[in-house]
Structure 1
Amino acid sequence: MALLETGKHWQGSVLSSVNPDIAGERQTASFSVEKLTALLDGGVEQTRMRRAVAEAIECDPEFSRENQYFQSQNERYEAAVRKGVHLQKKMREMGWTEDGPEYKYIYRALSGDVAFLLHSIFMRSISVLGSEKQVTKWIPLASQYRLIGSYAQTELGHGTYLQGLETTAVFDSSTQEFILNTPKISAMKWWPGDMGRSATHTVAFAQLYIHGKCYGVHPFIVQIRSLQDHSLCPGVTAGDIGPKMSFEHADNGYLMLQNVRVPRENMLSKFCEVQPDGTYRRLGSQQINYFTMTTVRISLISDEVITPLMKACTIAIRYSVVRRQSKLQPGEEEAKILDYQTQQEKLLPQLATAYAFHFIDHYLQELFNRAYREIQRKNFDMLPELHASSSGFKALITQHCTSGVEICLRACGGHGYSLLSGLPSLYTKILASCIYEGENTILLLQTARFLIKSFMAASSGQPVPPSVTYLAAVKPRKCPAKNKLDFLSPDIYTEAYEHTAVRLIRSTAAKLQDLIQSGVKKHDAWNQCTVQLAQAAKAHCHYITVKNFVETVERLETKAGIQKIMKHLCDLFALHGIFSNAGIFLHDGYLSGAQMDMVTASYLDLLPVIRKDAVPLVDAFDFSDKSLNSALGSYDGQVYQRLYEWAQKSPTNTQMNPAYERYLKPLLHNTLSKL
Structure 2
Amino acid sequence: MALWDVIKGFQNSAGPDVNPDLDTERKTASFSVERLTNILDGGAENTQIRRKVNAVLQSDPEFSRENQYFQSQNERYEGAVRRAVYLSKKMDEMGWAIDGPENKYCYRALGDDLAFVVHGVFMKCILGLGTDEQIAKWVPLAEKHYIVGSYAQTELGHGSFLRGLETMAIFDVTTQEFILNTPKISAMKWWSGDLGRTATHAVVFAQLYIKGKCYGIHPFIVQIRSLQDHSPAPGVTVGDIGPKMNFAQADNGYLMLENVRIPKENMLSRFSQVLSDGQYIRQGTEKINYLTMVVFRVHIIQTEVLPNLMKACTIAIRYSVVRRQSELKSGGPESKILDYQTQQQKLLPQVATAYAFHFLCDYLQEVFDRGYAETKEGKFDLLPELHALTSGIKAFTTDYSSAAVEVCRRACGGHGYSLLSGLPSLYTALVASCTYEGENTVLLLQTARFLVKCLGIVKAGQPLPSSVAYLSSISSGKCGAQEKRDFLNPDVYTEAYKQRAFRMVENAAIKLQSLIQSGTPQHEAWNLCSVQLVLAAMAHSHYIVVQNFVNALEKIETEFNIQKVLKHLCDLFALHGIVSSMGDFLQIGHLSEKQSDRVIESYLDLLDLIRPDAVPLVDAFDFSDANLNSAIGCYDGHAYERLFEWAKKSPTNNQDNQTFEKYLKPLFQNALSKL
TM-score interval w.r.t. the shorter chain? over 0.9
Using structure 1 for the length normalisation, give the TM-score: 0.97
Structure 1 residue 410 displacement after superposition:
0.1
Paired letter, 1:419: L
Is the contact made by 2:14 and 2:636 (CA closer than 8 Å) also made in structure 1?
no
Is the contact made by 1:147 and 1:201 (CA closer than 8 Å) also made in structure 2?
yes
Correspondence for 1:118? 118
Structure 1 residue 458 displacement after superposition:
1.4
Paired letter, 1:342: T
CA distance in 1, matches of 2:452, 2:204: 33
Q: Which runs of 5+ in 2 are unaligned?
A: 1-11
Does residue 17 of the first structure (1) align with residue 17 of the second (2)?
yes
Does residue 443 of the first structure (1) align with residue 433 of the second (2)?
no
Structure 1 residue 637 displacement after superposition:
0.5
Structure 1 residue 460 displacement after superposition:
2.5
Q: How does 1:583-598 map to 2 (within 5 A)?
A: 583-598=583-598
Structure 1 residue 474 displacement after superposition:
3.4
CA distance in 1, matches of 2:365, 2:206: 29
Correspondence for 2:346? 346
Correspondence for 2:136? 136
Correspondence for 1:91? 91
Paired letter, 1:73: Q
Structure 1 residue 331 displacement after superposition:
1.9
Structure 1 residue 671 displacement after superposition:
4.4
Residues 218-252 of structure 1 deviation map (CA, whole Å, 9 limit, x = unaligned): 00000010000101111000000000011011110
Does residue 378 of the first structure (1) align with residue 350 of the second (2)?
no
Does residue 404 of the first structure (1) align with residue 411 of the second (2)?
no
Does residue 510 of the first structure (1) align with residue 487 of the second (2)?
no
Is the contact made by 2:13 and 2:635 (CA closer than 8 Å) also made in structure 1?
no
SS of equivalent residue, structure 2 residue 87 = helix
Q: How does 1:445-460 map to 2 (within 5 A)?
A: 445-460=445-460
Structure 1 residue 446 displacement after superposition:
0.5
CA distance in 2, matches of 1:569, 1:229: 56
Structure 1 residue 463 displacement after superposition:
0.9
Does residue 305 of the first structure (1) align with residue 305 of the second (2)?
yes
SS of equivalent residue, structure 2 residue 268 = coil
Structure 1 residue 559 displacement after superposition:
3.3
Correspondence for 2:655? 655
Structure 1 residue 674 displacement after superposition:
7.6
Bigger shift: residues 609-618 or 643-652: 643-652
CA distance in 2, matches of 1:238, 1:564: 55
Is the contact made by 1:147 and 1:199 (CA closer than 8 Å) also made in structure 2?
yes
CA distance in 1, matches of 2:102, 2:64: 20
SS of equivalent residue, structure 1 residue 147 = coil
Paired letter, 1:455: L
SS of equivalent residue, structure 1 residue 160 = coil
Is the contact made by 1:327 and 1:334 (CA closer than 8 Å) also made in structure 2?
yes
Structure 1 residue 329 displacement after superposition:
0.4
Q: How does 1:261-280 map to 2 (within 5 A)?
A: 261-280=261-280
Residues 132-165 of structure 1 deviation map (CA, whole Å, 9 limit, x = unaligned): 1111111111111111100000000000001000
Bigger shift: residues 377-386 or 458-467: 458-467
Structure 1 residue 594 displacement after superposition:
0.2
Correspondence for 2:573? 573
Does residue 431 of the first structure (1) align with residue 431 of the second (2)?
yes
Correspondence for 1:619? 619
Structure 1 residue 672 displacement after superposition:
3.5
CA distance in 2, matches of 1:558, 1:279: 60
Does residue 30 of the first structure (1) align with residue 30 of the second (2)?
yes
CA distance in 2, matches of 1:210, 1:132: 24
| CA-based RMSD | 1.3
Is the contact made by 1:206 and 1:219 (CA closer than 8 Å) also made in structure 2?
yes
CA distance in 1, matches of 2:249, 2:104: 21
After the TM superposition, which segments of 4 or more aligned residues of structure 1 sit over 4 Å from their partners? 12-16
Using structure 2 for the length normalisation, give the TM-score: 0.97
Does residue 534 of the first structure (1) align with residue 534 of the second (2)?
yes
CA distance in 2, matches of 1:534, 1:474: 21
Residues 32-85 of structure 1 deviation map (CA, whole Å, 9 limit, x = unaligned): 000000000100111111111111111111111111000011111111111111
Correspondence for 2:7? none
CA distance in 2, matches of 1:427, 1:129: 33
SS of equivalent residue, structure 1 residue 228 = coil
Is the contact made by 2:147 and 2:200 (CA closer than 8 Å) also made in structure 1?
yes
Correspondence for 1:212? 212
CA distance in 1, matches of 2:14, 2:449: 58
SS of equivalent residue, structure 1 residue 242 = coil
Correspondence for 2:3? none
SS of equivalent residue, structure 2 residue 335 = coil
Bigger shift: residues 590-599 or 136-145: 136-145
Correspondence for 2:52? 52
Structure 1 residue 668 displacement after superposition:
1.5
- Alpha-carbon distance change, 460 to 424 in structure 1, aligned in 2, over 3 angstroms: same
Q: How does 1:609-648 map to 2 (within 5 A)?
A: 609-648=609-648
Q: How does 1:600-611 map to 2 (within 5 A)?
A: 600-611=600-611
Structure 1 residue 285 displacement after superposition:
1.5
CA distance in 1, matches of 2:44, 2:121: 30
CA distance in 1, matches of 2:220, 2:522: 34
Residues 615-634 of structure 1 deviation map (CA, whole Å, 9 limit, x = unaligned): 00000000000100101100
- Alpha-carbon distance change, 342 to 13 in structure 1, aligned in 2, over 3 angstroms: closer
Paired letter, 2:88: Q
CA distance in 2, matches of 1:195, 1:512: 42
Structure 1 residue 653 displacement after superposition:
1.2
- Alpha-carbon distance change, 16 to 86 in structure 1, aligned in 2, over 3 angstroms: farther
CA distance in 1, matches of 2:450, 2:476: 25
Correspondence for 2:9? none
Is the contact made by 1:458 and 1:469 (CA closer than 8 Å) also made in structure 2?
no
Structure 1 residue 482 displacement after superposition:
1.1
Structure 1 residue 459 displacement after superposition:
2.6
Correspondence for 2:68? 68
- Alpha-carbon distance change, 435 to 674 in structure 1, aligned in 2, over 3 angstroms: same
Correspondence for 2:8? none
Correspondence for 1:474? 474
Structure 1 residue 461 displacement after superposition:
1.4
CA distance in 1, matches of 2:474, 2:670: 83
Is the contact made by 1:32 and 1:560 (CA closer than 8 Å) also made in structure 2?
no
Correspondence for 2:165? 165
CA distance in 1, matches of 2:376, 2:249: 36
CA distance in 2, matches of 1:267, 1:14: 54
CA distance in 1, matches of 2:628, 2:658: 32
Correspondence for 1:6? none
Does residue 369 of the first structure (1) align with residue 339 of the second (2)?
no
Is the contact made by 2:13 and 2:625 (CA closer than 8 Å) also made in structure 1?
no
Is the contact made by 1:494 and 1:547 (CA closer than 8 Å) also made in structure 2?
yes
Is the contact made by 2:155 and 2:188 (CA closer than 8 Å) also made in structure 1?
yes
CA distance in 1, matches of 2:194, 2:185: 21
CA distance in 2, matches of 1:507, 1:119: 43
Q: Which runs of 5+ in 1 are unaligned?
A: 1-11
Aligned residues: 664
Structure 1 residue 16 displacement after superposition:
5.8
Is the contact made by 1:37 and 1:622 (CA closer than 8 Å) also made in structure 2?
yes
Residues 159-181 of structure 1 deviation map (CA, whole Å, 9 limit, x = unaligned): 00010000000111111100000
Is the contact made by 1:488 and 1:602 (CA closer than 8 Å) also made in structure 2?
yes
CA distance in 2, matches of 1:669, 1:206: 65
Bigger shift: residues 110-119 or 426-435: 110-119
Bigger shift: residues 617-626 or 141-150: 141-150
Paired letter, 2:593: G
Correspondence for 2:225? 225
Correspondence for 1:492? 492
- Alpha-carbon distance change, 148 to 16 in structure 1, aligned in 2, over 3 angstroms: farther
SS of equivalent residue, structure 1 residue 31 = coil
CA distance in 1, matches of 2:588, 2:200: 58
Is the contact made by 1:312 and 1:408 (CA closer than 8 Å) also made in structure 2?
yes
